[in-house]
Amino acid sequence: MASGVSGRIWAGRELVDRMARQSPARLAITVFAAVIAVFTGLLSTPFATTSGVRAPFVDAFFTATSAVCVTGLVTVPTGTYWSPFGQAVILVAIKVGGLGVMTLASLLGMAVSRRIGLTQKLLTASETKTTRLGEVGSLIRVVIITSTTIEVLLALLLVPRFLVLRETTGEALWHGIFYAVSVFNNAGFIPTEEGLTPHAGDWLLLVPIIVGAFIGALGFPVILNVARNRRQFRRWSLHAKLTVVTSALLVVFGAVMFIALEWTNAGTFGSMSVGDKLLSGVFMSVMPRSAGFSTVDIGQMHEASWLITDALMFVGGGSASTAGGIKVTTLAVMMIAIVAEARGDRDVEVFGRRIPRDTLRLAVAVVFVGATAVLVSCLLLLEITGWSLDVVLFEVISAFATVGLTTGVTHELPEAGKYVLIALMFIGRTGTMTLAAALALRDRRRVIRLPEERPIIG
């Protein structure tokens, strides 16, 4: 009997190893689908709801997908609909999903770097530029310890604040831990009924959330690279430099735009003090990068602010992070290439390095496929719901970029619309990284090259 079980385990390992070697993108999709199925089953039990009645399958499926894909969109309120058991399942799903994203992104990075065949322990090595075999064996443990440490630090900052807000010790502990995990993993789930809206001017609560979400959106390659070279910017990798600089510029851009557009809006910033307006502007600039929290009613914001939010959500965060979107390095490469073309430079250069042309082609492909997914989903939801384009576009980009912000209509979606967003969250979570790896692996070399001729562009 034991030999039969060990044989099946060995066969399973062989299957996973073969998929990792032959089709790492397929492995990533399969793993995520299996994990979502498990958590859907757990949320479908009567113990998962406060009423003791089984949740409708579509709501359990939607919530499980949103949690594993660290999105935050919900069709039922997390804090009141789900029981403590259900909320615990969601929290575990967020943690598993966040770690899974970073691990699978590392796996795909190894596939691109042509090192998959060495050993299964090398699957995540490229994410920290580790080359010594003695180091890579503990890399996954380092990832888990690092993420957990940051989450614990966030919880230690948040729990005392919830105690000051007159929550019981149990409530403060639970809310602090839940928010810490949700913030770092850019999940956007909230365990409280009113969310963060009553705390729009609470600096001690919101600043840790801003910092935690920003760090979580950078990605482990950046976090570890910067940690190892804290005071030596010149020794940072090009990826780390592009991610940090572009992310900071996006935060400044978003904050300025939100403050300018919402300054006098009575439904959002209008009644706040000057300091609270500045805090809310920065908060609303960081959150669309994939964290998905809000301190104001998104539905009351000006349509121009929705458009800015759409743009920030579509860009997302850093590669191999828990954030979604097309990623900030994709945007950076595209913008640098445009500047180089405008200046007439033959090479795309930044920070003393030349960016290969195949990287530029890959960036164009990721942007195009992402825009196509958003376009098709918008067409489907427009036909299903009959809502206006601005509302549909906001919900669609929020799902694709795994952000979780909403204008307040997600719970009103018909069943067919919920399945559209489920598919979009899954595509947005696994699609960009698997697409990038799949395209990078397709390196065909031809003996004969055709004659060159330039078509007219523009």
Let me know: does 228 contact 234? Beta carbons within 8 Å: no
- If you count them, how many residues does the chain have? 458
Helices (H) and strands (E) in the chain, counts: 17, 2
Helix (H) / strand (E) element for 348: namely strand 348-350
337-357 residue pLDDT tens: 999 988 988 888 999 889 988
71-127 residue pLDDT tens: 999 999 998 999 999 999 999 999 988 877 666 655 555 455 444 343 334 334 443
**Mean per-residue pLDDT for 414-435?**
86
Nearest alpha-carbon partner for 195 in 404, 450, 376: 404
Check whether 309 has a pLDDT greater than 90.
yes
Tokens representing 309 are 């939010």
Q: What angle do CA 397, 80, 286 make, to 5 degrees?
A: 35
Nearest alpha-carbon partner for 360 in 374, 343, 346: 346
CA 186, CA 71: separation in Å to the nearest integer?
Answer: 7
Q: CA Rg, the chain, in Å?
A: 22
Q: State the pTM of this model.
A: 0.87
40-80 residue pLDDT tens: 999 999 999 999 999 999 999 999 999 999 999 999 999 89
Distance in Å from the first CA to the final CA of the chain: 69
pLDDT of residue 133: 38
CA 150, CA 144: separation in Å to the nearest integer?
Answer: 10
The amino acid present at 402, given as its one-letter code, is T
Tokens representing 429 are 């979570």
